[in-house]
């Protein structure tokens, strides 16, 4: 393990906290890629998330964040249930589609079906969950969504898609 070292500017060890510092540090953190979906009066909505976390096994809780300026935020805020989809390494185009603002995310190129509670479920993913939203916690210009898994399927095949250094990546052998 490498210990922090002093920088040339004196006794200071690191840079002051800032949005740029946080982004730079988290570019070094490889994260799994998920798509979050919800049913809405105007049709299904969804977005790509790399902030997915397991919170508790009992009860089965997870969390993710969403910006309150996101086009998906009103649907997530108002939905009682959401879908969580773990993407496979061959699904980088799907991840990019759900990450692009203004994209037709549920157009003809996206294979999906309405699932339990009307939640849109994407085909061909590694795993999916339908969750009941239990809390929306303010966090700056975002909300931390805490949800309880109520149904799912972990039986997809393949390896996970990762996000690292600002790009979608696959595991290497």
According to the model, what pLDDT value does residue 125 have? 97
User: What kind of fold does domain 31-161 have according to CATH?
Assistant: Pnp Oxidase; Chain A (2.30.110)
Confidence of residue 172 (pLDDT cuts 50, 70, 90): confident
Spatial neighbors of 35 by CB under 8 A, at least 6 apart, are: 46, 47, 48, 49, 83, 84, 85, 87, 94, 95, 98, 122, 125
Reading the block at residue 126, the tokens are 């590694």
Confidence of residue 106 (pLDDT cuts 50, 70, 90): very high
- Domain ranges in the chain are 31-161
Average pLDDT over residues 71-86: 96
pLDDT of 7 over the 70 cut: no
According to the model, what pLDDT value does residue 26 have? 86
- First-to-last CA distance in the chain? 23
Confidence of residue 10 (pLDDT cuts 50, 70, 90): low
Reading the block at residue 155, the tokens are 């039986």
According to the model, what pLDDT value does residue 42 have? 84
pLDDT of 134 over the 80 cut: yes
């Amino acid at each position: 393990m490498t210990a922090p070292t002093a920088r040339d500017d004196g006794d200071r060890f690191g840079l002051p906290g800032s949005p740029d510092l946080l982004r730079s540090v988290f570019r070094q953190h490889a994260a799994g890629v998920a798509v979050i979906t919800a049913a809405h009066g105007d049709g299904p909505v969804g977005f790509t998330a790399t902030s997915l976390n397991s919170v508790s096994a009992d009860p089965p809780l997870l969390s993710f964040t969403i910006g309150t300026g996101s086009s998906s935020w009103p649907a997530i805020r108002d939905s009682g249930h959401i879908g969580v989809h773990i993407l496979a390494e061959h699904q980088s185009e799907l991840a990019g589609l759900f990450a692009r603002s203004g994209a037709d995310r549920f157009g003809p190129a996206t294979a999906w079906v309405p699932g339990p509670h009307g939640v849109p479920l994407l085909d061909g993913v590694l795993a999916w969950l339908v969750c009941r939203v239990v809390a929306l916690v303010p966090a700056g210009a975002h909300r931390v969504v805490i949800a309880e898994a109520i149904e799912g399927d972990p039986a997809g095949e393949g390896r996970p898609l990762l996000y690292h250094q600002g790009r979608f990546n696959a595991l290497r052998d």
